[in-house]
Amino acid sequence: MKYAYYPGCSLESTGMEYNLSAKAVAKHFGVQLEEIDDWNCCGASAAHSTSHLLSIALPARTLALAERQGLDVAVPCAACFNRMKGAQIEVRESPKMRDTIQEVIDMEYTAQYEVKALLDVLVNELGIGRIKEAVTRPISGLKVAAYYGCLLVRPPKTMCFDDPEDPQTMDKLVEALGGEAVNWSYKVECCGAGHSTMKPSVGIPMIKDIIKNAKLNGANCFITACPLCFLNLDMRQAAAGELAKDSFQMPVFYFTQLMGMAIGYSPKELGLNKHFVDPMKLLNDKEIFRHPDTRREKA
Amino acid sequence: MKRVGVFVCHCGSNIASVVDVKRVAEAANKMQGVAFATDYQYMCSEPGQDVIIKAIKEHRLERVVVAACSPRLHEPTFRKTIEKAGLNPYFVEMANLREHCSWVHSKDKEGATLKAIDLVRKAVSKVNKTFPLFPGEIPVEKRCLIIGGGIAGIQAAIDVADQGYEVVILEREATIGGKMAILDKTFPTMDCSACICTPKMVDAAQHPNVKLYTWSELESVGGYVGNFEVTIRKKARYVDLGKCTGCGICETKCPKKVPSEFDFGLGQRPCIYKPFPQAVPNKPVIDAKNCRKLLENKCGVCAKVCPTNAINYEDKDELVTEKFGAIIMATGYELYDWTKDFGEYGYGKYPDVIMGLQFERLVNASGPTMGKIKRPSDGKVPKNIVIVKCVGSRSTEKGKSYCSKFCCMYTAKHATQILEKIPDANVYIFYMDVRTPGKMYDEFYMRTKEGYGAIYLKGQVSKIYQEGESLVVKGEDILAGKPIQVKADMVILATAAASVYDAPEVAQKVGFSYDKDGFFTEAHPKLRPVETNTAGVYLAGCCQGPKDIPETVSQATAAAAKVGSLFSKDKMATNPMISEVNEKLCSGCGLCIPVCPYKAIELKTITERVHGGQVQRQVASVNAGLCQGCGPCTVACRSGAINLKGFTNQQILAEVDTACL
């Protein structure tokens, strides 16, 4: 399996550990991620709130570059994935838009290759069976709230890889890794996105509600596939805890980190030392890394 | 060339404000074969018709063109007019200057006038090729089949039977009564549904002209208006209705209990059961899917306790074929299955999120809680109740695009029922709009809101989830412009009313059309609302579209009246504008048979003399009773042997020539 890889801006900065762990896990399973040469920002919400054309053209340029590599594209960030998939579908379905975009980006782009979420690639394409086989260090004891956020599976007609209201991909993954996927209610609620920075009075309560609900339903950590969701849940957890008058202490993991852990990678290789909410306490409590039989060399 | 008269109608200003009618009449006067042309303000009015009659006599007209509205509206009118003047009624042709011209070209008056002239020219050339047509006669079997035994079917049955005709009610459940028997009270008067429905059920069952086939399904329908041949599957009941006295001992002794369909899973029933205590017929059936005797050949308690030996485990389905002159469709509706599409409301995994009909059972004195409102999960009396309207209705994304019509009223009813039984309850109703047209309906809604204090919140619900023992309902109050959150003990969803899952299949069996949502299509939305496009098949109740009880009952009575007028004659006239086969040209290929939507064509063997010998061969033959004159057979016929009378190939070609040459 070989994919053109689009890390996006977050994975170069706040989501560095996502990038690290994604590459490690992909390599382990023989999924080649070939970084797109000269990729640019997907435009995020800034582009589509200013100009519809810009919001298509920015991801289309990167997709056009990937098309030269002749590969389907794997996108780790939920927001990037959303923008790229949207652009691809619009270009694919409207010849008029295709002509416009080709003129704007001054490149050929036919939208013939697929855009996939890295989660989709590493779970559905790879197959739960293969993942299960590779597990040497089950994450037993972790009660995981799988948090998908609002962008990863919506709008359903565009994203079309999981149920928009009760998605299951990460829940299945957690079970395969030996953890327990908690049944909870805030799986696809919005994390507040940039509001936690721009307007904390709106953003922080949203984060608080998510963490509260996960905790209420018995979770002891989160799994996510979006760097912004991660950032909000991790970095703003202290502020949210203050608001809730509760010190939450709920570590947040990228799904690739949990996968890496379970197949034997060390905390450092997965960037677990970069979290605001220290995950090591929980992981040590549950003796995930102490299991005698789970050295990576054996994996 | 015949002597043709052209009569151009102004239709008030409908046509005349766009089309220059005088110019059309003048142009018509110059057309070949036209002996007389004039215009008049309302051709369909009595003086207008007199203009035509007078002109026919004065100008010795042989054919008539009326350039006015759609033939669907006034062709029958003008046929009668020229018949009065002594012409064959089928010698009139209509040029549609209204729907096909003035209404659609109102911005281009010159163009519209030129098109009107062309339409008249075409009609003149067509009418020239018309032959006289004469309606035929077929006998009428004066028995009516009613499919569906809900309130629509019951009302229609009583009304047809009262006119002196025999009626059969076909019902797939073990009892008649339908959805109305499930309900607790009826808006806006709050009559107890059972008190007004069950007596009607008994009336129907005891009527000397009514026969009930409950626990039976429609197998197939053949024949045509006045002469339908219907095969009915009487499903194995395992209880001999002749011997059973309905004592109910078997029900109390049956050891196995399963969720009751009648209570939508909120209560339990034994495996030999009556759906509810007032069932008609008041005799049980055995649920073959769950009965231990039938599944594993164990138990057999019901047979042991039955005092009249009415239990027969060997019972088999039975097919009966009967003749009917008319069919009334009264198959009703079912609630849209929200659990497939509404993940935001939990896909049905929260026990305290229920549908309106489930609430009817919860609040019903004969329901599983004896009328005490207790929530399904733990039997606690709920204090905060949220009602969500338009779940699956009025949505282009999920569910149905239409308004289900009766939910606004029944949610108001539910709110008053809750507030009457639990006075300190809070009822929150999320709505898109409140639609309450109907006698005393809006007054009822205002009373719910202002008298009882139900809290109406305009906005949709985005999410429902469980938090501990209660449910959290997140939504929006668009009047306040704020997202809101309500903690609820129970949520009632007003789910869309949908067509019954197999309604399209039933419509195909009987042979008439249905719409995109599976509701049966009436022949004309305004002027023929209880007839289908198949003669002799009528509609009553929700099978045609969601409607409340008063509307359903009116439509049922209307359908019964239609059946009465059909049965009032011993023979009925048939439409002569049907297909005919020229046997000399027909090769008997049979291509016309599959294209016929009314199953009106079959092959027959004829004997011909060829070169002194006799040859037998097959040709197509059109059943005059079944043929509706729709015409696909004429197109499918390779040798041009089939012609549609009134729309013959010669007539159509004459029109095409006129339009193109």
- The token duo for B262 is 């009648």
Contact at 8 Å (CB) between B28 and B117? yes
Predicted local confidence at residue A297, as pLDDT: 44
Q: How far is CA A72 from the centre of its chain?
A: 18
Q: B471 to chain A: which residues are within 8 Å by CB?
A: none
Predicted local confidence at residue A291, as pLDDT: 59
Pick the residue from chain B with its C-alpha nearest to A213.
Answer: B467
Contact at 8 Å (CB) between A1 and A127? no
Predicted local confidence at residue A296, as pLDDT: 47
Over residues A56-77, the pLDDT tens digits come to: 999 999 999 999 999 999 999 9
The answer to whether the Cβ–Cβ distance between B347 and A166 falls below 8 Å is yes
Q: Which helix (H) or strand (E) holds B484?
A: strand B482-488
Q: What is the mean pLDDT of residues A227-255?
A: 95
C-alpha distances in angstroms, A250 versus A212, A223, A234, B254, B574? 10, 10, 8, 54, 80
Nearest 5°: CA angle at A244, between A240 and A248?
Answer: 65
- Nearest chain A CA: its distance from B463 CA (Å): 9
d(CA A165, CA A182): 15
The answer to whether the Cβ–Cβ distance between A165 and B466 falls below 8 Å is no
Question: Concatenated DSSP letters for chain A?
Answer: -EEEE--TTGGGTTTHHHHHHHHHHHHHTT-EEEEPTT-----HHHHHTT-HHHHHHHHHHHHHHHHHHT--EEE-SHHHHHHHHHHHHHHHH-HHHHHHHHHHHTS-----S-EEEHHIIIIIIT-HHHHHHH-SS--TT-EEEEE-TTTTT-SHHHH-SS-SSS--HHHHHHHHTT-EE---S-TTS---TTHHHH-HHHHHHHHHHHHHHHHHTT-SEEEES-HHHHHHHHHTHHHHHHHHTS-----EEEHHHHHHHHTT--TTTTTGGG-SS--HHHHHHTTTTT-TT--GGG-
Q: B344 to chain A: which residues are within 8 Å by CB?
A: 165
Query: Directed axis angle between helix B151-162 and helix B193-206, to 10°?
Result: 40
The answer to whether the Cβ–Cβ distance between B467 and A164 falls below 8 Å is no
Name residues of chain B where pLDDT drops below 70.
none
**A293 band by pLDDT with thresholds 50, 70 and 90:** low
Contact at 8 Å (CB) between B213 and B232? yes
Q: A166 to chain B: which residues are within 8 Å by CB?
A: 343, 347
Q: Around Cβ B164, how many Cβ atoms within 10 Å?
A: 10
The answer to whether the Cβ–Cβ distance between B343 and A165 falls below 8 Å is yes
Predicted local confidence at residue B599, as pLDDT: 85
Do you find a cis peptide bond into B368, omega within 30 degrees of 0? no
Q: How far is CA B296 from the centre of its chain?
A: 42
pTM of the entire predicted model: 0.82
The answer to whether the Cβ–Cβ distance between B466 and A185 falls below 8 Å is yes
Over residues B22-74, the pLDDT tens digits come to: 999 999 999 999 999 999 999 999 999 999 999 999 999 999 999 999 998 89
Pick the residue from chain A with its C-alpha nearest to B468.
Answer: A216
Q: A185 to chain B: which residues are within 8 Å by CB?
A: 463, 465-467, 472
Nearest 5°: CA angle at A294, between A290 and A298?
Answer: 145
Contact at 8 Å (CB) between B150 and B178? yes
Q: What is the 3-state secondary structure (H, E, C) of A189-216?
A: CCCCCCHHHHCHHHHHHHHHHHHHHHHH
Q: Which amino acid is at B390?
A: C
The answer to whether the Cβ–Cβ distance between A216 and B468 falls below 8 Å is yes
d(CA A153, CA A162): 6
Beta-sheet pairing, B571-573 with B137-139: antiparallel
Who contacts A163 (Cβ-Cβ below 8 Å, separation ≥6)? A153, A156, B343
Determine which of B391, B466, B487 to mutate to test the interface with A (most A C-beta atoms within 10 Å).
B466
The answer to whether the Cβ–Cβ distance between B467 and A166 falls below 8 Å is no
d(CA B315, CA B312): 6
- Nearest chain B CA: its distance from A163 CA (Å): 8
d(CA B253, CA B279): 19
The answer to whether the Cβ–Cβ distance between B467 and A185 falls below 8 Å is yes
The answer to whether the Cβ–Cβ distance between A216 and B465 falls below 8 Å is no
Nearest 5°: CA angle at B278, between B273 and B283?
Answer: 40
Q: A163 to chain B: which residues are within 8 Å by CB?
A: 343
Say yes or no: B502 contacts chain A, CB-CB below 8 A. no
Contact at 8 Å (CB) between A108 and A64? yes
Contact at 8 Å (CB) between B249 and B346? no
Nearest 5°: CA angle at B21, between B17 and B22?
Answer: 125
Chain A residues with CB under 8 Å of a chain B CB are 163-166, 185-186, 189, 213, 216
Q: A165 to chain B: which residues are within 8 Å by CB?
A: 342-344, 347
Contact at 8 Å (CB) between B344 and B273? no
- The token duo for B15 is 């046509």
Q: A216 to chain B: which residues are within 8 Å by CB?
A: 467-468
- Nearest chain B CA: its distance from A178 CA (Å): 25
B467 → closest Cβ in A165, A166, A216: A216
Q: B463 to chain A: which residues are within 8 Å by CB?
A: 185, 189
Which of B357, B328, B145, B136 has its CA nearest to residue B265? B357
Say yes or no: B347 contacts chain A, CB-CB below 8 A. yes
C-alpha Rg value of chain A to the nearest Å: 19
d(CA B258, CA A22): 51
Predicted local confidence at residue B223, as pLDDT: 85
Which of B135, B39, B139, B143 has its CA nearest to residue B95? B39
Q: Is residue B87 helix, strand or coil?
A: coil
Pick the residue from chain A with its C-alpha nearest to B471.
Answer: A185
Predicted local confidence at residue A299, as pLDDT: 40
Q: Is B371 left (phi over 0), alpha (psi -120 to 50) or beta?
A: left
Contact at 8 Å (CB) between B236 and B317? yes
Contact at 8 Å (CB) between A116 and A73? yes
On the CB side of B529, CA atoms within 13 Å amount to 14
C-alpha distances in angstroms, B176 versus B83, B200, B265, B285, B359? 48, 10, 20, 13, 21
Q: Is residue B380 helix, strand or coil?
A: coil
Q: Around Cβ B517, how many Cβ atoms within 10 Å?
A: 17
Pick the residue from chain A with its C-alpha nearest to B464.
Answer: A185
Say yes or no: B397 contacts chain A, CB-CB below 8 A. no
Q: Around Cβ A30, how many Cβ atoms within 10 Å?
A: 10
Q: Is B628 left (phi over 0), alpha (psi -120 to 50) or beta?
A: alpha
Which of B654, B536, B632 has its CA nearest to residue B579? B632
Q: B343 to chain A: which residues are within 8 Å by CB?
A: 163-166
Q: What is the DSSP letter of B624?
A: T
Q: What is the DSSP letter of B449?
A: I
Q: Which amino acid is at A46?
A: A
Say yes or no: B339 contacts chain A, CB-CB below 8 A. no
| Tokens 């079944």 -> residue | B626
Query: Directed axis angle between helix A237-244 and helix A227-235, to 10°?
Result: 50
Predicted local confidence at residue B624, as pLDDT: 84
- The token duo for B390 is 């338009």
Beta-sheet pairing, B318-324 with B227-234: antiparallel
C-alpha distances in angstroms, B129 versus B93, B116, B654? 11, 21, 8
The answer to whether the Cβ–Cβ distance between B465 and A185 falls below 8 Å is yes
Say yes or no: B344 contacts chain A, CB-CB below 8 A. yes
For chains A and B, CB pairs below 8 A equal 19
The answer to whether the Cβ–Cβ distance between A185 and B342 falls below 8 Å is no
Average pLDDT along chain A: 93
Q: Around Cβ B189, how many Cβ atoms within 10 Å?
A: 9
pLDDT above 50 for A298: no
Contact at 8 Å (CB) between A223 and A149? no
Predicted local confidence at residue B326, as pLDDT: 97
Pick the residue from chain B with its C-alpha nearest to A215.
Answer: B467
d(CA B432, CA B442): 16
Contact at 8 Å (CB) between B38 and B8? yes
Pick the residue from chain A with its C-alpha nearest to B344.
Answer: A165
Over residues A107-139, the pLDDT tens digits come to: 999 999 999 999 999 999 999 999 999 999 999
C-alpha distances in angstroms, B166 versus B145, B160, B175, B328, B549? 9, 8, 20, 13, 25
Which of A108, A44, A31 has its CA nearest to residue A74? A31
Over residues A161-199, the pLDDT tens digits come to: 899 999 999 999 999 999 999 999 999 999 999 999 999
B343 → closest Cβ in A163, A186, A216: A163
- Nearest chain B CA: its distance from A232 CA (Å): 21
Determine which of A166, A185, A210, A213 to mutate to test the interface with B (most B C-beta atoms within 10 Å).
A185
- The token duo for B371 is 């009328």
Determine which of B342, B345, B463 to mutate to test the interface with A (most A C-beta atoms within 10 Å).
B463
- Nearest chain A CA: its distance from B483 CA (Å): 12
- Nearest chain B CA: its distance from A171 CA (Å): 16
- Nearest chain B CA: its distance from A148 CA (Å): 14
- Nearest chain A CA: its distance from B545 CA (Å): 29
Give φ, ψ of B182 to 5 degrees: -80, -30
The answer to whether the Cβ–Cβ distance between B343 and A166 falls below 8 Å is yes
Predicted local confidence at residue B397, as pLDDT: 85
Average pLDDT along chain B: 95
